[in-house]
A and B are shown apart, each in its own frame.
Chain A
Amino acid sequence: MYVLFIVLNDLDKLKEVLAALKSADVRGATIIDSVGAGAMMEEEFLGSPLIGGFMRSLSSNYGSNKTIFSVIEREEQVDRAMAAVEKVLGDMNKPGTAIMFVLPVVKFKGGELERHIDRRERKNILQKEYESEYY
């Protein structure tokens, strides 16, 4: 069991990334609003007290990005999801695209993934009963 984190800088690509995740059979994801530390340091104007506030209200996204995370069952599915995201974003070595990383999950509970696994197990049990001699 793994959890995939994607910090996405290009907000226009968010829906495409979500679509790519969905097509790679990722079950559900959570999105958090976040801000890149680099962007915050760079824009000294926007950081200043009064003017910065006005400037921020003018520019729509002040270095903001989205952090997406999702629990994924198997490693090959993680690889598939990462490949799908990379295909959408292009070269991820360029500055200001995205970063993704995977952590091992010790245990999880709930969410769409658990329901999916439950359904699959139930189907397997039914299938076994069906194939057994009692039928």
Chain B
Amino acid sequence: MYALFIVLNKTEYLKEVIKALGDIGLDCAIMDSISANQYVNFYSPHTFDAYNIPVVVGSISMAEEDSGVIYNKTMIVLVENEEKAEQAMKAVESIVGNMDRPGTGIMFYVPVVKTAAE
């Protein structure tokens, strides 16, 4: 059993990705998240020279197009075996394109010791 984490920067593909995962019989949990780079660059363009200013990101309403912060989505998918994980990663890449390009996202999978679901 493995847990596949997908950080999806191109959130416009979210529905298609969910559908693609559904087609190979996988279900997922989705969370709002934010890239650390976005976070720092937006609030202090000169990177880290002013990082003692209190952080206010949490109070800014989520995912507003014009807020300048780019929120992404983190998805967690449980898969039975490595083949399935590979299949899921291929399915995601077939939609968002090659993940090598900057600004697409990252995905990885970690072993799961025990599950109690379905």
Contacts and interface: CB of A to CB of B under 8 A. Distances in A.
Interface in A18-40: 18-19, 21-22, 28-33
B107 to A, nearest CB: 5
Contact of B106 (A12, A14, A113): A113
Interface residues of B, number: 40
Interface of A is mostly: mixed
B55 A12 contact: yes
Contacts of B106: 28, 30, 71, 108-114
B35 A15 contact: no
Nearest to B7: A30
Interface residues of A, number: 38
B107 A109 contact: yes
Interface in A64-107: 64, 68-71, 103-107
A111 B6 CA distance: 10
B33 A19 contact: no
A32 B40 contact: no
B36 A68 contact: yes
- Residue from A14, A15, A110 having most chain B Cβ neighbours under 10 A: A110
Nearest to A33: B58
A12 B55 CA distance: 6
